[in-house]
Structure 1
Amino acid sequence: MSSETQPETPPNFWGYMPEEEYYTSQGVKNTKSYFDTPNGKLFTQSFLPLDQQVKASVYMTHGYGSDTGWLFQKICISFSTWGYAVFAADLLGHGRSDGLRCYLGDMEKVAATSLSFFKHMRHSEVYKDLPAFLFGESMGGAATMLMYLQSEPTTWTGLIFSAPLFVIPENMKPSKLHLFMYGLLFGLADTWASMPDNKMVGKAIKDQEKLKIIASNPRRYTGKPRVGTMRELARVCQYIQDNFSKVTAPFLTVHGTADGVTCPTSSQLLYEKAPSVDKSIKLYDGMYHSLIQGEPDENANIVLRDMREWIDERVERYGPKNY
């Protein structure tokens, strides 16, 4: 294709290579589909290893304003190349799923909607006897924790959190005055995109070249946060902190010490308060919020290596010996 006929923005983060060709080059098979739920259609993707037997299934949730495409899928592809069947869904209001863009007025419903797809795959004939893990990044970590709390404890073999949102940094917290004033409108302002955004993307991405790629994602939400979203995230963070005592599954939580979007305290509190007997925490000195998508490759590879070691060990420890 000549440069004159190419769109200004490539259709994918890797450029113009056809999708199937790219995924094959990465050693995975990708499928895209829509999953019907009572709350609307979810856009879903699967990433399956091409040339190896599946060891377990992993169910991934992206962060605020993002989607399962663009750079987030690099995480999905990595896990798939390690021998895992990966399933991901755009959250309601995100990417190609139904819902008002980036409106998270009821996080319990948002989490339950993705969970319905994840459980559908987890209990399917192919995967029901294999270990199964939930993975959540950033605000997707909060959604993932809600999914875990909404599930029977035995549903999930383990949990992986990347810079999860369980504690909002002081400078990112919504103004109580703003929320109070909007609250006087009896819900009319709930969907308004009128809260300060505190330049979240710039605080999340260290590698400037990757920041440009992330910023070129045509499905990324770039508007201001909605009133109801910020109110609900503040509520959910407190709810999760109050329920750390219910986390009994094995888990790994990782955080950069220079994270300006979600507090490293999120991971530290979970590690301290969860009664799980198999729990791990990794803090990466000087790394920003987006540990895999936004750090230089050498840093991202350290995080991925730690995740791989952790999940491989849990499959060996808890999984069937004949998979």
Structure 2
Amino acid sequence: MATNGEVKAEKPPPNFWGDMPEEEYYSSQGVINSKSYFETPNGRLFTQSFLPLDQKVKGSVYMTHGYGSDTGWLFQKICIRYSTWGYAVFAADLLGHGRSDGLRCYMGDMEKIAATSLLFFRHVRKSDPYKDLPAFLFGESMGAAATMLMYFQSEPDLWTGLIFSAPLFVIPENMKPSKVRLFMYGLLFGFADTWACMPDNKMVGKAIRDPEKLKIIASNPRRYTGKPRVGTMREIARVCQYIQDNFANVTAPFLTVHGTSDGVTCPTSSQLLYERASSQDKSMKLYEGMYHSLIQGEPNESADIVLSDMREWIDERVKRYRPK
């Protein structure tokens, strides 16, 4: 009890759902969760799996989070929902994020970062329980850009389909890094590449429409809150252009979803992918008035619309493309 007029600060709960033990929480959600580290030549990845508690697995999904986030906290709500639909879900904190190795939120080589996550995803996808089942890559926001790089790095037919939520393939004008600033830092011959000194443009506030969920997301103890690093912004700009130049090389079935009021990534990202991809089976959903974080940051009734569309799409592709 506080005395002498002092107010004792309450210790925040260890998880967004409160103090309930993790195993009990996941069981209440209908999933089995496991956590482990995966060793790679580029550093350790923190990984999670979410398996259906009491139903047969009909496919596997490999999920990548967005910039500054991780596979825990609210992102795992996406993993849990997919698992309750009958999918084995695997997720890895990107290098430089969450509990994986690497300088916090430094994305100086996204090809390597994507390849590192792909090592884990491919390892699981080719393992005995999942090698003969349909398999999907899922990427949210900047994680969608990393996911697209994984797709380009993969052998043909490794993935049954791709799912993108508010993908970062085109940078909005107000979010683009200053070419002059990047040029000036570039004169330092890479010395400034890791500096956290680029404008952050208050991205979190532009991503979340539900104010209560904004509070929860902001309380994530592993969320990166510093300014973007020079090399990160340089590399994101390069990768976005690279992906745009290679949209025609996308041949896998895909679903891309975007909110029309997204203030972090352009809906043009989804539109250009849909228009230019060579895939014969491609789908796009635009949600009027929704923000960037379509599942974690929208009111429940809006998020449920997005999830319903995702479930309908993936279940149909499992029926359509599963091995005979």
CA 200–184 in structure 1, closer or farther in 2 if over 3 Å, else same = same
Q: Deviations over 1:258-311 (max 9, x none)?
A: 001000000000000001000000000000000000000000000000000000
**CA–CA distance in structure 2, aligned partners of residues 182 and 24 of structure 1:** 50
Q: Deviations over 1:90-125 (max 9, x none)?
A: 000000000000000000000000000000000001
Q: 1:91 aligns with which of 80, 89, 94?
A: 94
Letter aligned with residue 199 of structure 2: P
Structure 1 residue 76 corresponds to structure 2 residue 79: yes
Counterparts of 1:121-140 in structure 2, within 5 Å, are 121-140=124-143
Q: Deviations over 1:235-257 (max 9, x none)?
A: 00000000101100000000000
Report what 1:37 is aligned to: 40
**CA–CA distance in structure 1, aligned partners of residues 119 and 146 of structure 2:** 13
Letter aligned with residue 155 of structure 1: L
Give the superposed CA RMSD. Answer: 1.2
Report what 1:26 is aligned to: 29
TM-score calculated relative to the size of structure 1: 0.97
Structure 1 residue 162 corresponds to structure 2 residue 165: yes
Q: Secondary structure of the equivalent of 1:313?
A: helix
**CA–CA distance in structure 1, aligned partners of residues 31 and 253 of structure 2:** 27
Structure 1 residue 177 corresponds to structure 2 residue 170: no
Q: 2:231 aligns with which of 185, 205, 228?
A: 228
Report what 1:47 is aligned to: 50
Counterparts of 1:97-136 in structure 2, within 5 Å, are 97-136=100-139
Letter aligned with residue 213 of structure 1: I
**CA–CA distance in structure 1, aligned partners of residues 156 and 224 of structure 2:** 34
1:153 Cα deviation after fit: 2.1
1:5 Cα deviation after fit: 11
Structure 1 residue 209 corresponds to structure 2 residue 212: yes
Structure 1 residue 317 corresponds to structure 2 residue 323: no
Q: 1:56 aligns with which of 55, 59, 63?
A: 59
Contact 1:190-1:226 within 8 A present in 2 as well: yes
Count of aligned positions: 318
1:8 Cα deviation after fit: 1.8
1:6 Cα deviation after fit: 9.9
Unmatched 5+ stretches in structure 2: 1-6
Q: Secondary structure of the equivalent of 2:146?
A: helix
Letter aligned with residue 198 of structure 1: N
**CA–CA distance in structure 1, aligned partners of residues 10 and 305 of structure 2:** 35
Q: Secondary structure of the equivalent of 2:290?
A: coil
Contact 1:66-1:221 within 8 A present in 2 as well: yes
**CA–CA distance in structure 2, aligned partners of residues 258 and 31 of structure 1:** 36
Q: Secondary structure of the equivalent of 1:153?
A: coil
**CA–CA distance in structure 1, aligned partners of residues 44 and 248 of structure 2:** 33
Q: Secondary structure of the equivalent of 2:261?
A: coil
Q: Secondary structure of the equivalent of 1:280?
A: strand
Structure 1 residue 289 corresponds to structure 2 residue 292: yes
Runs of 4+ in 1 over 2 A off after TM superposition: 4-7
| % identical equivalent positions | 85
Contact 1:204-1:290 within 8 A present in 2 as well: yes
**CA–CA distance in structure 2, aligned partners of residues 264 and 66 of structure 1:** 21
1:320 Cα deviation after fit: 2.9
Structure 1 residue 244 corresponds to structure 2 residue 247: yes
Letter aligned with residue 239 of structure 1: Y
Q: Deviations over 1:9-62 (max 9, x none)?
A: 211110110000000000000000000000000000000001000000000000
Report what 2:301 is aligned to: 298
Letter aligned with residue 40 of structure 2: T
Letter aligned with residue 153 of structure 1: P
Contact 1:153-1:249 within 8 A present in 2 as well: no
CA 87–7 in structure 1, closer or farther in 2 if over 3 Å, else same = farther
Unmatched 5+ stretches in structure 1: none
Q: Secondary structure of the equivalent of 1:121?
A: helix
TM-score calculated relative to the size of structure 2: 0.97
